[in-house]
Chain A
Amino acid sequence: MIAAALYLVRRSLVNATRHRVARLRQPKYLIGFVVGCLYVYWLVFRPQSGRAFGSAVTPAGDVWGVGVLAALVVFNWIFGRAETPFTFTLAETQYLFTAPLTRRQVIDFKLIRSQLALLVSAAVSALFLSRGLLGGLRLFHVVGLWLVYATLQLHYGGVALLRATLTQHGASGLRRQLVTVASLGTLVALGWWSLRPQLPGLVAAFARDPAEGYAAIAGAMHSGLLGVLLWPLEALLGPLRAPDAAAFAARLPTALLVGVANYVWVVRSALAFEEAAVEHAVKVARRVEALRQGRALGRPLRARKAHGLRLPRLPLAATGAPSAAILWKNVVAAMRDASPRTLILVGALIIGGSLVAGGGPTGGREVLATILLAVGGIALLFGPLAARFDLRQDLEMLDVLKSYPVRGRDIVRGEVAAPVVLLAGIVWICLAGGLLALAGRREADVLTTGDRFAILLALLSTTGAILAVLVLVQNAAVLLFPAWVTIGRNRAMGLEAAGQRILMTAGSLVALSVALLPAVILGGLVGAAVQAAGVDTAGTASAGAVAGSGVVVFEVALAVHLLGDVFDRLEPGALGGG
Chain B
Amino acid sequence: MIEVQGLTKLYGTLEAVRDLSFRVAPGEVLGLVGPNGAGKTTTLRSIVGIVRPTTGTIRVGGHDVTRDPVAAKRLLAFMPDEPHLFDYLTVEEHLRFTARLYGVADVDRRLPALLQELELSEKARVLPGELSRGMKQKLVIACGLLHDPRALLLDEPLTGLDPAGIRRMKETIKERARQGAAVLLSSHLLHLVEEVCTRVLIVQAGRKVALGTIEEILVDRPDLRGRSLEEIFLALTGS
For B52, give its contact among A332, A399, A571 (CB under 8 Å): A571
Residue in A300, A316, A320, A568 whose CB lies within 8 Å of B129: A300
B100 at the interface (CB under 8 A from A): yes
CB contact list, B122-166 vs A, under 8 A: 125-127, 129-130
In the complex, the answer to whether B70 meets A405 with C-beta atoms within 8 Å is yes
Give complex CA distance A403, B155 in Å.
Answer: 14
B100 near A316 (CB under 8 angstroms)?
Answer: yes
The reply to whether B84 and A329 form a contact with Cβ atoms under 8 Å apart is no
- Count of chain A residues with a beta carbon within 8 Å of a chain B beta carbon: 42
Docked Cα-Cα span, A320 to B74, in Å, equals 15
In the complex where A290-B87, A318-B108 touch, is A402 in contact with B49 (Cβ < 8 A)?
yes
Q: Flag if A329 contacts B89 (CB, 8 Å).
A: yes
A295 touches B88 (CB 8 A): yes
- State whether A302 touches B130 (Cβ < 8 A): yes
When the two chains form their complex, are residues B69 and A568 in contact, meaning their CB atoms are under 8 A apart? yes
For A406, give the chain B residue with the smallest CB separation: B101
A322 to B99, CA, bound (A): 10
User: B97: which A residues are within 8 A, CB to CB?
Assistant: 316, 325, 328-329
Residue contact A571 to B89, C-beta cutoff 8 Å: no
Question: Which chain B residues lie closer than 8 Å to A99 at the CB level?
Answer: none
Contact among B70, B80, B105 with A319 in the assembled complex (CB-CB below 8 Å)? B105
Which residues from 60 to 88 on chain B have a C-beta closer than 8 Å to any C-beta of chain A? 69-74, 76, 78, 80, 84, 86-88
B84 touches A571 (CB 8 A): no
**B130 A406 Cβ-Cβ under 8 A:** no
Q: How far is the CA of A51 from the CA of B96 in the complex (A)?
A: 62
A405 touches B100 (CB 8 A): no
* Residue of B71, B84, B106, B130 with most chain A CB atoms under a 10 A cut-off: B84
Question: Are B90's CB and A318's CB within 8 A?
Answer: no
| Nearest opposing residue in chain A for B99, CB measure | A318
Question: Which residues from chain B contact A308 at a C-beta distance below 8 Å?
Answer: 125
What is the minimal beta-carbon distance from B112 to any residue of chain A, in angstroms?
Answer: 14
B22 at the interface (CB under 8 A from A): no
Closest-by-CB residue of B relative to A408 is: B69
B50 touches A302 (CB 8 A): no
Contact B80 A405 (CB under 8 A): no
5 nearest CB pairs, A to B: A405-B73, A333-B88, A405-B74, A325-B100, A293-B87
Residues of chain B whose beta carbon lies under 8 Å from any beta carbon of chain A: 11, 45, 48-52, 69-74, 76, 78, 80, 84, 86-90, 93, 96-97, 99-108, 125-127, 129-130
Q: A316-B97, A318-B100, A404-B101 are in contact. Are A301 and B88 (CB under 8 A)?
A: yes
User: Is the beta-carbon distance between A318 and B48 smaller than 8 angstroms?
Assistant: no
Nearest residue, chain B, Cβ from A329: B97
* Cross-chain contact A329 with B86 (CB below 8 angstroms): yes
**A397 contacts chain B at the CB level, 8 A cutoff:** yes
How close is A468's CB to chain B, nearest CB, in angstroms?
24
Query: Is A336 interfacial (CB 8 A cutoff)?
Result: yes
- Chain B nearest Cβ from A74, distance in angstroms: 34
Chain B positions within 8 Å of A286 at CB level: 129
Which residue of chain A is the closest to B130 with respect to CB atoms? A302
20 pairs of residues in contact across A and B, judged by CB atoms under 8 Å: A301-B88, A305-B130, A308-B125, A311-B90, A311-B125, A316-B100, A318-B104, A318-B108, A319-B100, A322-B100, A325-B97, A325-B101, A328-B97, A329-B97, A333-B88, A400-B84, A403-B78, A405-B76, A405-B101, A407-B70
- Chain A nearest CB from B44 CB (Å) reads 10
Q: Is A534 an interface residue (CB 8 A)?
A: no
- Which one of A306, A399, A400 contacts B90 once the chains associate, using CB atoms below 8 Å? A306
| B49 engages A301 (CB within 8 Å) | no
Q: How far is the CA of A572 from the CA of B44 in the complex (A)?
A: 14
Q: A306-B125, A400-B86, A402-B50 are in contact. List 11 more A-B contacts (CB 8 A).
A: A305-B126, A307-B125, A318-B99, A328-B100, A329-B86, A402-B48, A403-B78, A404-B102, A407-B69, A568-B69, A571-B51
Are A290 and B90 in contact, with the CB atoms below 8 A? no
Known: A403-B50, A403-B73, A571-B52. A397 touches B84 (CB 8 A): yes
Determine if A405 and B102 form an interchain contact, defined as CB atoms under 8 angstroms apart: yes
Residues of A within 8 A of B101 (CB): 322, 325, 404-406
A307 to B49, CA, bound (A): 37
A320 touches B126 (CB 8 A): no
Residues of chain A touching chain B, judged by Cβ–Cβ distance below 8 Å, are: 286, 290, 293-295, 300-302, 305-308, 311, 316-320, 322, 324-325, 328-329, 332-333, 336-337, 397-400, 402-407, 568-569, 571-573
Cα separation A320 to B87 with both chains bound (whole Å): 24
Which residues of B have CB within 8 Å of A307? Answer: 125
User: Which residue of the partner chain, among A295, A318, A407, A573, contacts B87 with CB atoms under 8 Å?
Assistant: A295
In the complex, what distance in Å separates the CA atom of A128 from the CA atom of B37? 48
* Residue numbers in B under 8 Å from A405 (CB-CB): 69-74, 76, 101-102
The answer to whether B106 touches A318 (Cβ under 8 A) is yes
Please give the distance in Å from A26's CB to the nearest CB on chain B.
13
Nearest B residue (CB) for A314:
B93
Q: Which residues of A contact B93 (CB under 8 A)?
A: 316, 332
Contacts of A572 in B (CB 8 A): 50-51
Question: For the complex, what is the distance from the CA of A286 to the CA of B45, rounded to whole Å?
Answer: 29
* Bound form: Cα–Cα A404–B103 in Å: 11
Chain A nearest CB, measured from B158 CB (Å) = 20
Q: When A329-B89, A329-B97, A403-B48 are in contact, do A305 and B127 touch as well, CB less than 8 Å?
A: yes
A residues within 8 A CB of B106? 318
Whether A318 contacts B49 by the Cβ 8 Å rule is no
A317 and B107 alpha carbons, distance in the complex (Å): 10
- Which residues on B sit within 8 Å (CB–CB) of A320? 100
| Alpha-carbon distance between A569 and B73 when the two chains are bound, in angstroms | 16
From A286, A397, A404, A407, residue with most partner B Cβ within 10 Å:
A404
Residue of B nearest to A336 (CB): B88
Taking a contact as CB atoms under 8 Å apart, the answer to whether B49 and A569 are in contact is no
Whether A399 pairs with B88 at a CB distance below 8 angstroms is no
B129-A301 in contact (CB<8A): yes
Complex CA–CA separation, A286 to B128 (angstroms): 13
Q: Is the CB of B84 within 8 A of A399?
A: yes
Cα A325 to Cα B94 in complex, Å, equals: 11
The distance from the CB of A285 to the nearest CB of chain B, in whole angstroms, is 12
In the complex, A569→B66 CA distance in Å?
Answer: 10
* Shortest distance from the beta carbon of A512 to any chain B beta carbon, whole Å: 29
The interface residues of chain A lying within 8 Å CB-to-CB of B73 are 403-406
A293, B128: Cα distance in complex, Å: 11
A322 to B74 Cα, complex, angstroms: 13
Cα-based distance from A38 to B49 in the complex (angstroms)? 42
CB distance B127 to A301 under 8 Å? yes
Q: In the assembled complex, which residues on chain B have CB atoms less than 8 Å from the CB atom of A311?
A: 90, 125
In the bound assembly, the distance between CA atoms of A294 and B97 in angstroms comes to: 19
- For B100, list chain A residues within 8 Å (CB): 316-320, 322, 324-325, 328
User: Which of A302, A333, A406 has the largest number of chain B CB atoms within 10 A?
Assistant: A406
Closest residue of chain B to A398, judged by CB? B50
Query: Known: A295-B87, A397-B86, A400-B84. Is A302-B104 also a contact (CB below 8 A)?
Result: no
B61 to chain A, nearest CB (A): 12
Contact B84 A569 (CB under 8 A): no
What separation, in Å, do the CA atoms of A301 and B11 have in the docked complex? 38
A491 to B225, CA, bound (A): 56
**Is A333 in contact with B86, judged by CB distance below 8 angstroms?**
yes
| Chain A, Cβ-Cβ closest to B102 | A405
**Alpha-carbon gap, A305 to B125, bound state (A):** 8
> Nearest chain-B residue to A400 (Cβ)?
B84
B96, A301: Cβ atoms under 8 Å? Answer: no
